[in-house]
Amino acid sequence: MAIATTLIFFLVILSASLHLHTNTVQAQQRRQSNITLGSTLTPTTNSSWLSASGLYAFGFYQEGNGYAVGVFLAGILEKTVVWTANRDNAPVPSNATLVLTSGGWLVLQQPQSQDTDITGLTQRASYASMLDSGNFVLYNYSHNIIWQSFDHPTDTILSRQILLAGQDLISRASETDYSTGIFRLSMQRDGHLVQYPISKSSPSTAYWASGTFMYGDNCSLHLDGDGHLYMLNATGTTNIKDLSDAEPTMEEKIYRMAVDVDGIFRVYSLRRALYNKLREIERAN
């Protein structure tokens, strides 16, 4: 079967989101490298925490009639969601609050209901950070990373993010609904990268496989900063399969790989200069 990877330049999507979202996300995002205990976000004001360069944001984004919590490209590209917290929970109304509590827990609070935990941690955080890589990270009091969104991928990996043996990417339900969809890309412990329909993960139902079982267990999937998507063996030293080629580095691009709604996984690139231009237009409006 054909390898289901393509490189796509999504200018069309970009201009579409420019028209749709120019009015919805003005000046609601705060640049804050270290997020301290007691910090809060709400869907309509101070809706997200930005990474240092302002590229990625962690916080609320619009979904259906409400809001979900996740990581996305900041600003007009807010629809480029790369991670979602508790993706199968219903969207929350605008009176919800996201809090990094003074006790060190990251929770979603809603009037008259119990707090919803975001991370599943049993250890208190001392601060959090939205990194420029797109990784949202929590630290403990000795500055060790105790949780990171890169360890809990939903349907996407970003540059320098690794899909480890035993991890899956699962498509979203639809272009606008980020809950669990119907296709799974599984980095199996046996060294095989395999695509399955979600409900039937047996060899006979696989619709694509990398054919890398002979390289031993615990292989992993990697996306580099130049769009190179490939697999390494357990030692991490040997490239056992190339899935997409590196692009010549003529200019800076933002790469991501996603298992799309149609079950195909694709590598996407976005020129950084174009992104910056669109952000400028947004700010000017």
Do 88 and 116 meet the contact criterion of CB atoms below 8 Å apart? no
Smallest distance, ligand NAG to C-beta of residue 34, A: 4
Smallest distance, ligand NAG to C-beta of residue 126, A: 8
Tokens of 229: 């998507």
Separation CA 141–CA 145 (nearest Å):
10
Q: Which residue has the tokens 């296709």?
A: 183
Separation CA 82–CA 152 (nearest Å):
11
Long-range contacts of residues 61-67, Cβ cutoff 8 Å, at least 24 apart? 62/24, 63/91, 63/176, 63/177, 63/178, 64/91, 64/176, 64/177, 65/91, 66/90, 66/91, 66/92, 66/93, 66/94, 67/43, 67/91, 67/92, 67/93, 67/94, 67/96
Which residue number, 36 or 249, has a Cβ lying nearer to ligand NAG?
Answer: 36
Smallest distance, ligand NAG to C-beta of residue 256, A: 25
Do 85 and 103 meet the contact criterion of CB atoms below 8 Å apart? no
Smallest distance, ligand NAG to C-beta of residue 167, A: 13
Smallest distance, ligand NAG to C-beta of residue 29, A: 10
Q: Which residues touch 23 (CB under 8 Å, ≥6 apart)?
A: 285
Which residue number, 111 or 248, has a Cβ lying nearer to ligand NAG?
Answer: 111
Which residue number, 46 or 244, has a Cβ lying nearer to ligand NAG?
Answer: 46
CA distances from 169 to 81, 82, 143, 260, 280 (A): 14, 11, 29, 10, 33
Which residue number, 55 or 264, has a Cβ lying nearer to ligand NAG?
Answer: 55
Separation CA 169–CA 196 (nearest Å):
11
Which residue number, 35 or 169, has a Cβ lying nearer to ligand NAG?
Answer: 35
Smallest distance, ligand NAG to C-beta of residue 238, A: 3
Separation CA 158–CA 76 (nearest Å):
19
Q: Which positions lie near ligand NAG, rule CB under 6 A? A: 30, 33-34, 40, 45-46, 93, 95, 111, 127, 140-144, 146, 216-218, 233-235, 237-238
Smallest distance, ligand NAG to C-beta of residue 3, A: 22
Which residue number, 73 or 98, has a Cβ lying nearer to ligand NAG?
Answer: 98
Which residue number, 54 or 271, has a Cβ lying nearer to ligand NAG?
Answer: 54
